Amino acid sequence: MKTNKFYFLLFFGLLLLSSCDKGFEEMNENPNSPTTVPSSLLIPQVTTSAMNNMYSTFVGGDMGACWSQQISKVQYNDEERFYPRTTVINGFWDGIYTGVIADADAMYKLAVAEGNNNMQGVALTLKAYGFLVLTDTFGDIPFSEALSTDSGIISPKYDAQADVYTGCLAMLDDAAALLGTGGTINATSDVIYGGDAGLWEKFANSLKFRSLMRISGKVDVSAQLQALYNGGMMFTSNDEEAKLVYLSAQPNANPIYETIVYGTRNEFKACSTLTNLMSADPRLPVYFAPVGATVVGKVPGVADVPSPAYNYTNVSAVGSFYLRPEAPGYFMSYAELEFLIAEASMKSYITGADAATHYANGITASFAAANNTPDAASTIASSPVSLVNIYNQKYIALYWQGIEAWTEQRRTGYPLLQVVQDANPSVSYAKRYYYNSIESSINATNYQAAVANQGADLLSTKVWWMP
């Protein structure tokens, strides 16, 4: 009798539990925690991750602004002398792949599921930007299989840099074709353009123009450049350029401010390569704080610093305008585009563009960006349009856009750089970054194939588009 009663109670309990569970999942859903994230919510994450990596003083400063000789350091200058820290390079590789490329890819997939063409275009633009940054700094990189973990590929092959560029240019074409054809970009989430699909299209096309010019020494890109110029859908003012305006306090302030001001790392100073080039330029005292009445630059390198010759007090510091917490991080500026158009015209890659006009536009835009420095006309008059002047003025306009300044100097050869004092004896000038140090072990076969194709995994190995 006890046994029968036990089984009855057990059966009744199971029946009660099964009936109570019916519909429980629906009742337990939190309406404030959606299972699907809107694609637009990823824009701040991707754009901030991109600029935080590019403007990190340990990357864009030490291995960008110092390597392009805009900035020199009066202490802790191993990177300036071509002794970079492996952990910093590893962090940059991981940060761009995960925080920019992978998240932009996730944004794209969400936008496809939403049927949102505009957000697909935004995602592809940012994804292409991330891949272009990595291939410009490392050379051959995982591209076609970089995001293939869902397919079981955990050791992606390295694509030749030429193929990475082909893929990124196609990505930017797709982005431009999608933008403006349907869907919305949440204005609050869009920290770059406030939801304006037309400006995102201009960014995609302007970035494509830059990319085509970067490979123009290796590939005939005239027809594509001409089509972009004729299309008219590129930046036309500083108001349209692609930049992230930071906030007024850490941890959301510009990384240069966070390091130099908030972190009191005042070793970042003027480099004499830039100060000599700008000796009579009205922007110079905006770029750097004068020592007494004069802006003083330090020669690049020098192992024993601080020293009587170069120390914290006798070399010009970074100008206060560039140390603002709200200073923008640039994906690409209008000034840079104008200089690239002027160069394309001078080299007859495009027709119908007046090189002198675009050159003057670039200088004027740079003066405006430098705290509205007056008298751009005197600089335009004193350095008339020529290829060398275009290169040098673009370099000046790229102040504190460290990786881009270094990349363009590698492409053009201008300005002429000084010999780095007390440098790594195996490196006369840095032409690329080392690969992430763990790639040689966890992805050894593909890493070795990349080295065989591109050259030794050294700072002195050229990337494909370099002359």
Asked if residue 417 is part of any domain, the answer here is: no
Number of domains in the chain: 1
Structure tokens at 303: 């192992």
Please report the DSSP string for 377-439 in residue order.
Answer: HHHHHHS-S-HHHHHHHHHHHTTT-HHHHHHHHHHH--SPPPPPBT--TT-SS--SPPPPTTH
Decide if 195 contacts 186 (C-beta within 8 A). yes
pLDDT at residue 383, as a whole number: 96
The beta strands (E) that lie in 165-300 are given as 242-245, 268-270
Which residue's structure tokens are 């914290």? Answer: 312
pLDDT of residue 353 exceeding 90: yes
**Phi-psi domain of 358 (left: phi exceeds 0; alpha: psi -120 through 50; beta: other):** alpha
pLDDT of residue 21 exceeding 90: no
Full domain range(s) for residue 439: 85-233+428-455
Per-residue pLDDT tens over the stretch 217-263? 999 999 999 999 999 999 999 999 999 999 999 999 999 999 999 99
Asked if residue 212 is part of any domain, the answer here is: yes
Helix (H, G, I), strand (E, B) or coil at 220: coil
Phi, psi of 431 (to 5 degrees): -110, -10
Which residue's structure tokens are 């763990």? Answer: 438
pLDDT of residue 31 exceeding 70: no
Structure tokens at 187: 């204005």
pLDDT at residue 34, as a whole number: 53
Asked if residue 44 is part of any domain, the answer here is: no
Instruction: Tell how many helices (H) and how many strands (E) occur in the chain.
Output: 19, 6
pLDDT at residue 7, as a whole number: 32
Average pLDDT, the chain: 93
Per-residue pLDDT tens over the stretch 425-446? 999 999 999 999 999 999 999 9
pLDDT of residue 18 exceeding 60: no
Per-residue pLDDT tens over the stretch 311-333? 999 999 999 999 999 999 999 99
CATH of the domain at 114: 1.25.40.390
Asked if residue 397 is part of any domain, the answer here is: no
Neighbours of 9 (CB within 10 A): 10
